[in-house]
């Protein structure tokens, strides 16, 4: 066998080893790039806020501001009664009616008294002025515990870059004017547009 043929045979025999080495190198590089991309990816949170009561205003603002503090991209889509949370003049109350699991807490007095859960009777929730009383007690409890107000939490969200989005369909439905809402609203869009954004979020919550 000539020297040239011998070299050709040797090259052919080594080819599988070379290809296997290249495949392993490409696999390793791909894993490294995917790990690098995952490490540099910014998580995202999308919240759909539908309630306009004081007790239901806290979850979206607390979750969004916390996500923003962690460096996440966060947005809140306010639709139906949730639009009350982005009005210039906040006038939101606790609604005991239809919320039997809500405990009433005394915001003052000895510790043993403040720890007692007082269930809200359905009949009492219908009494005139009871909603205002429940709201006042909640506000005092929040203040006593050092928890920010809804206004303060909303301001924190604005300052930390949480994207506030309003449902234009609901605005039209309730005959609202955009002038009634805070100027920090980023967009006035419909459900179709926001669902496209929510689909790509790491976490999507409905409140």
3-state secondary structure of 189: strand
Q: Kindly give, in sequence order, each residue whose CB lies less than 8 Å from that of residue 198, ignoring residues fewer than 6 positions away.
A: 46, 48, 77, 204
Is the pLDDT at 199 greater than 60, yes or no? Answer: yes
**pLDDT tens-digit profile of 64-106?**
999 999 999 999 999 999 999 999 999 888 876 555 555 565 5
Is the pLDDT at 158 greater than 70, yes or no? Answer: yes
- Model pTM score: 0.72
Domain ranges of the chain: 1-41, 44-206
Q: Tell me the pairing of strands 73-78 and 187-189.
A: unpaired
- Cα separation, 141 vs 138, whole angstroms: 5
Homologous superfamily, domain 44-206: DsrEFH-like (3.40.1260.10)
Is the pLDDT at 197 greater than 70, yes or no? Answer: yes
| 204 beta partners | 46
Is the Cα torsion angle 184, 79, 151, 204 positive or negative in sign? negative
Is the pLDDT at 163 greater than 70, yes or no? Answer: yes
């Amino acid at each position: 066998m000539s020297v040239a043929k011998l070299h050709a045979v040797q090259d052919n025999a080594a080819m599988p080893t070379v290809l296997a080495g290249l495949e392993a190198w490409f696999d390793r590089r791909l894993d490294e790039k995917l790990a690098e991309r995952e490490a540099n990816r910014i998580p995202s949170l999308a919240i759909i806020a539908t309630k306009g009561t004081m007790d239901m205003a806290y979850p979206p603002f607390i979750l969004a501001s916390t996500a923003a503090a962690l460096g996440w991209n966060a947005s809140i889509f306010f639709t139906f009664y949730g639009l009350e949370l982005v009005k210039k003049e906040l006038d939101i109350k606790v609604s005991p009616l239809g919320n039997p699991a809500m405990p009433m807490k005394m915001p003052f007095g000895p510790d043993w008294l403040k720890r007692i859960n007082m269930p809200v009777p359905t009949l009492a929730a219908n009494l005139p002025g009871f909603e205002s009383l429940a709201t006042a007690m909640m506000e005092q409890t929040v203040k006593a515990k050092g928890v920010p107000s809804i206004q303060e939490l909303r301001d924190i969200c604005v300052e930390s870059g949480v994207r506030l989005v309003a449902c234009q369909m609901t605005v039209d439905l309730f005959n609202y004017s955009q002038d009634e809402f805070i100027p920090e609203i980023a967009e006035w869009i419909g459900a179709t547009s926001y669902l496209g954004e929510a689909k790509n979020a790491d976490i999507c919550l409905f409140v």
